Amino acid sequence: MEAIIYNTKGKEAGKLALNEKVWGLSWNADLVHQVVESMRANARMSTAQAKDRSDVSGGGKKPWAQKGTGRARHGSSRSPIWRHGGVTHGPMTVKDYSKKINKKVRAKALYTVLSEKLRKGEVLFIDAIEMKAPKTTEAKGILSALSGVKGFEKMLTKKKNAAYFATGEKSDAVSRSFANFGNIEFDAVENMNPIDLLNHKYVVIVSPEKAISFIEGKLATPVAAAK
């Protein structure tokens, strides 16, 4: 399996061999859904906290006598049936929403999404992006050139979540140059995950030799054992 490598001017600059065990997987919606939902659950913060009847102030005195008033019996105004009383079974900060994700399952879900993106023609390989200083105009020029590649015409015009750039070589100048584009996310390949890939139309892999080496080398071993 081969893929074309482009330069920042949108011209072909070579070819890249891809591992079919990583880039040739069939779509598995159940697997991807399981991993995505688990990742969202793990990112959920347990910050909501309701006061139960032991946390509400006041209510230490019995509101009225048990009998003889003609009214219903009550022992405390902190009761959940009273206004401003405690909350029954409300949200608590001690609740843990996290879910375990096996490494093999997480890796295979990432490969499945990458395979589907490649199959749809939504993965672009760029040889390198080099900048000596942060330049938004240079970044816009690169996006304009890449949008000239067949199938990637919407990279510059799509208002939201146009492309996810994953780079094998970190560069502060490059990442800052793309930071002003609200429809582009620029990140290191180590941080690539199924949610980011699914949230964007295109996936652009910069410095593919190093990026692919990480993707296929670091993650290929657990996936090869998964059935």
pLDDT, one tens digit per residue, over 50-74 is: 999 999 998 889 999 999 999 999 9
Q: Residue 63 has what pLDDT?
A: 93
Per-residue pLDDT tens over the stretch 169-214: 888 999 999 999 999 999 999 999 999 999 999 999 999 988 988 8
Say yes or no to pLDDT of 227 above 90.
Answer: no
Say yes or no to pLDDT of 220 above 70.
Answer: no
**How many CB atoms lie under 10 A from the CB of residue 81?**
9
**CB-based contacts of 216-219 (< 8 A; 24+ apart in sequence):** 216/19, 216/22, 219/22, 219/107, 219/110, 219/111
* Residues 181/43, Cβ–Cβ less than 8 Å: no
pTM score? 0.81
Q: What are phi and psi of 119, to 5 degrees?
A: -65, -35
Q: What are phi and psi of 15, to 5 degrees?
A: -130, 160
pLDDT averaged over every residue in the chain:
91
Mean pLDDT computed over 136-154: 94
CA 48 to chain centre: 23
* Residues 220/19, Cβ–Cβ less than 8 Å: yes
d(CA 1, CA 19): 7
Percent share of the chain, pLDDT over 90: 79
Q: What are phi and psi of 64, to 5 degrees?
A: -155, 175
The contacts of residue 59 (CB under 8 Å, 6+ apart) are 53, 76, 77, 78, 79, 82, 85
Nearest to 115 by CA among 32, 31, 24, 35: 24
Say yes or no to pLDDT of 167 above 60.
Answer: yes
Q: Where are the domains of the chain?
A: 2-44+98-225, 46-96
Q: ∠ CA 218-220-225 to the nearest 5 degrees?
A: 130
Mean pLDDT computed over 81-98: 91
- CATH number for the domain formed by residue range(s) 2-44+98-225: 3.40.1370.10
